[in-house]
Amino acid sequence: MDVLFSVISIQTFWKILLFLHFAVAVALLAAITLQAAAVLLPAPQAAGGPIGPFRPLLSAPSATLIVILYVVQALLGAWVYVKYRTYVRIPMEGLRHWWTVGAFELKEHVVTMGLALLPAYWFFWREPSSGDHATIRKWITVFLAFTVWYSLAVGHVANDFRGVGS
């Protein structure tokens, strides 16, 4: 790390890390939203119909890719969290931004619950065409999409308080 910090400043390092965290978040958000939309949409029509042509595109992201992105994102978040706890949260409390602090605390738990479901999510998506576990597969996907959306929204608010470009 000392070699790295001789090239870039510590502040730049954390900003790059935070930006990387944001970039992976966007990729994950796109993938999981697409998959959630695919499972929520009605079954494909035999031919034609308004959703027919988009259906193959909607089922494109694989569960394995989403699991990898989710884990990488959680690890990046866990790393950035160190800086949040010392550099962001303390002034946030000082300025009485209680809603942001509370929402970020909840984000920790929301992400953790999402992580807990990843093995089951991956297992249920091994055979997406199978009728077994179709309902739970659908709702776990929707739940994971919710965790990603919530985390991105709250993370964005915290970043606006003290982060990249704030």
Partner 1 sequence: MTQTLDISERVAHLERARAATAAAPARTTTARSGKLETFVITFGIAYAILYTLFERWNWPLFTYHPAVNHLDLFRAPGVPEDGPPMFWYGWVVLSGIAAAVVGTIATAVPKQWLPRATVFFCVLAALWPILYALGLYIDQEASFNAEFLRSVWTPAIPALVGAAAVTYWASPQGAQHIWTGWLLIMPIGGLAILGYSLLTYFTR
Among 143, 140, 160, smallest CA distance to 100 is for: 160
Least Å from the CB of residue 48 to partner 1: 35
> For residue 19, which of 163, 166, 120 has the smallest C-alpha distance?
163
Number of residues that bind partner 1 (CB under 8 A): 33
Question: Which CB atom, from 8 or from 136, has the smaller least distance to partner 1?
Answer: 136
Between CA 142 and CA 148 the distance in angstroms is 10
Q: Interface with partner 1 includes 130 (CB under 8 A)?
A: no
Could you tell me if 148 and 29 are in contact, meaning their C-beta atoms sit under 8 angstroms apart?
A: yes
65 or 101: whose CB is closer to partner 1?
A: 101
**Taking Cα atoms as reference points, which of 107, 104, 31, 36 lies closest to residue 68?**
31
Question: E-strand spans in the chain?
Answer: none
Question: Of the candidates 52, 53, 56, 119, which one interacts with partner 1 according to CB under 8 A?
Answer: 119
Residue 72: how many other CB atoms lie within 10 Å: 15
Binding track, positions 136-155, relative to partner 1; x by CB under 8 A: x--xx--x------------
Residue 27, both tokens: 């990729």
Q: Is residue 117 within the footprint of partner 1 (CB under 8 A)?
A: yes
Tell which positions 4-63 bind partner 1, by CB under 8 A: none
Cα separation, 161 vs 165, whole angstroms: 10
Exactly one of 133, 149, 152, 164 binds partner 1 (CB under 8 A); that residue is 133
Interacting residue ranges for partner 1, rule: CB under 8 A: 78, 81-83, 85-86, 89-90, 96, 98-99, 101-103, 105-106, 108-110, 112-113, 115-117, 119-120, 122-123, 133, 136, 139-140, 143
